[in-house]
Chain A
C-alpha cells in the first residue's frame, strides 16, 4: 500500500482566533498541506491558533514532529496555540511528549 495524501486542512477565522480543521492522517505526507494551512491562518494575524484534531484518525511520530514545528513557529511569533478534539489516546500522547506543557489542550 503506497502512502497517499490522506490529509487535508481547512482554515477558518473566528474573531481573533484562527482554527485549523485537520482531517485524516498526520504523517510525513501531511507536511505541505499543514504548512499551507498554517501560513493561511497566520495571514489573518490571529491572536490565537487552534488546531482541531476532531477529524484526525492517525498521528505518527513524524506527525508529532510536524506539530512540534508548528508549535515552534507559534512560539517564535508569541502566538498562543491550542489543540482541540483530541481522542483520549492522542491526548495521552500529547502528555507523554510534553506537547501539552506548551499548548493548551481543549
Chain B
C-alpha cells in the first residue's frame, strides 16, 4: 500500500503530484475538509476504471470492490474528477458535498470537466518543469562526483614512467565516463628492483576512487617492508579486509622486476592474468590468489619467470577484454592473446590494441569501463651490454661467476650456463692473479653481451705487454708421474667450456672474449 503521493510517484515515474490531494478547487465550495490522506494501492480497480473512464464520476454511482473508493466514501467524497493529459492519468480532484447541500447539477459536471481539461495540461507542464529541474540537479551532482573521482585517480596515478636501463615501460589509462576503479603504480626499490602494480576496484565513482587510494597506500607500505609479492598482497589483504566497504573488493597483480637479469617475481589477487610476449609465442603469467578485501588470512601463490631480450609483459584491466561490439560480442582474452602474438614492440602495443579495439567496437562506442594497459619490455640484447668490475683479490672469481649468471639468467640452458660460469671463473682468476698480480687498485673489467645467437663475455685485466701463453692440452700422464706440475688447467678448461675463446692484448691490457652459443650442445 502506498499513500496517494507515493502511488503517483510510482505511477508517473518519480514525478511528484500534489493536485490529487487538494480536494476542492475554489469555484466549487464544499462542506468537506480540503485535505485528507488517501492510500490507493497500485492494483486498486478504481485506478483502472478511472483510466478507462476519464470523466467526472459520482462516487455513489460507482460499483467497484475498491478499498480506495470505500475510503473516499468514508471521507465524504462525492465526485472524482480525473486529470488526464495526452492520454495519461496524472491526478484526481476529489470533491465533497456542495456547501448548499444540493446535489451536483449537470452544469457542475460540465464546469468540472472543463476545469479538468485545462488544469491537466497545466499540471503536466508544472510536473515536467519540476522533473527537469530535479534531473538537472541530479546530473550536476553526478558530474561533480565524477570530477572528484577523476581528480583522485589522476592525483594518485604515476606522473611519470620509470626509467630503467635496458627496459622500456609504457602505460595507458582511459577512464570510462563513470570512472571505474582502475589504477597502476610503479615502486622503485633501493636495490634497483622495480615493483609493478595493476589493480581494479569494484564499483565506480568516488567510492571506488577512495578504495583505490587506500589500497595503493597499503600496497606501497607493504612493499616497503616485505620483499616478496605474495607477502605484500597477503599483508595488504589483511589490512584492507577491515577497511573496505561491504561488497567491494580489489583485484590486483603485483610483480617485482630485477632489471639486471630480467627476473620477474609475481603474485596475483584475482586480477586478469597478464600475458608475456616471447619470440616463441604469447604465454600467461598465471598465479592463484583471492581478490583483496574479501577474506582475511589469504595466501598468494608466487611465481617467477625471466624475461628474455625482446620479451614484454602486458598488464591490463578488464575494460579492454570486456568491451563489446554492436553485436554484443566481447573483445575477449583469446583475441588479445592473438593480437599480441603479431606485435613484437611492447612500446607501441597500446596504440595497436586501441586501434584494434576501435575497429572491433565500431564508431560511437561508449566505453563501458576504465581501460588500463601497462607494458614492460626488455630491450634487445645488442643495445644493452652490461659492464661491471671486480676487485683483484683471491676468491673474487666467484663474484664474477655469480654476476654473469645473474645477467644471463635463462638466456642459456642450465648446463651451458654452468660451463660459461666455469670459463668466466677461470678467466677472471687468471686476470686477477697473472694480469693484475692481485693488486687491489687494479680491478678486472667484465662486459656481458647477449644477442639472439650467443652470450659474449669479455674479461680484461691491466697486465698487458707480455703475451698470454697459448692453451695446450695438459699432459695428465706426466703430471701423475710427477714430471710436470699438477697445475696448468685454466686456459684448457676455458677453451673446452665455451664455443669460442678469443684473446686480445695491447700494451696495457689482456682481454679474453668467451662466446657461448645459445643453442646447440
Contacts and interface: CB of A to CB of B under 8 A. Distances in A.
Contacts of A66: 486
A64 interface: yes
Dominant secondary structure at the A interface: helix
Nearest to B473: A98
Interface string B141-159: 0000000000000000000
Dominant secondary structure at the B interface: helix
Contacts of A1: 393, 395-396, 398-399
B395 A61 contact: no
A85 B413 CA distance: 22
A61 B429 contact: yes
B415 to A, nearest CB: 7
A88 B413 CA distance: 14
Nearest to B425: A60
Interface string B381-396: 0000000000001111
A3 B393 contact: yes
Contacts of A68: 476, 479-480, 486
Nearest to A2: B393
Contact of A64 (B396, B399, B489): B489
A89 B396 CA distance: 21
Interface string B462-488: 000000000000101001111001111
Interface in A27-68: 27-29, 58, 60-62, 64-66, 68
A72 B493 contact: no
A26 B489 CA distance: 14
Q: Which of B418, B474, B480, B490 has the most CB of A within 10 A?
A: B480
Nearest to B430: A61
B480 A96 contact: no
Contacts of A101: 476
B482 A72 contact: yes
A72 B480 contact: yes
Interface residues of B, number: 29
Contact of B493 (A2, A29, A97): A97
A49 B261 CA distance: 43
A79 B237 CA distance: 65
Interface in B192-244: none
A101 to B, nearest CB: 8
Contacts of B482: 72
B486 A61 contact: no
A93 B474 CA distance: 13
Contact of B489 (A65, A69, A72): A65
Contact of A65 (B397, B399, B422, B487): B487
Q: Which of A2, A25, A29 has the most CB of B within 10 A?
A: A2
Contacts of B425: 58, 60
Interface in B279-312: none
B419 interface: yes
Given A1-B393, A27-B395, A58-B398, A97 B415 contact: no
A61 B394 contact: no
A12 interface: no
Nearest to A66: B486
B134 interface: no
B138 to A, nearest CB: 70
Q: Which of A27, A61, A68 has the most CB of B within 10 A?
A: A61
B394 A3 contact: yes
Contact of A60 (B429, B474, B479, B488): B429
Contacts of B492: 97
Contacts of A27: 395
B18 interface: no
B480 A75 contact: yes
Q: Which of B395, B419, B481, B488 has the most CB of A within 10 A?
A: B395
B490 A61 contact: yes
Interface in B480-506: 480-482, 485-490, 492-493, 496
Nearest to A69: B486
Contacts of B485: 65
Given A3-B395, A66-B486, A93 B493 contact: yes
B480 A60 contact: no
Contacts of A102: 476, 480
B258 interface: no
Interface of A: 1-4, 25, 27-29, 58, 60-62, 64-66, 68-69, 71-72, 75, 88-89, 92-93, 96-99, 101-102
Which 3 A-B residue pairs are closest in the complex by CB-CB distance? A3-B395, A61-B489, A68-B486
Given A27-B395, A64-B493, A102-B476, 7 more contacts: A1-B396, A3-B395, A29-B395, A65-B486, A92-B419, A97-B492, A102-B480
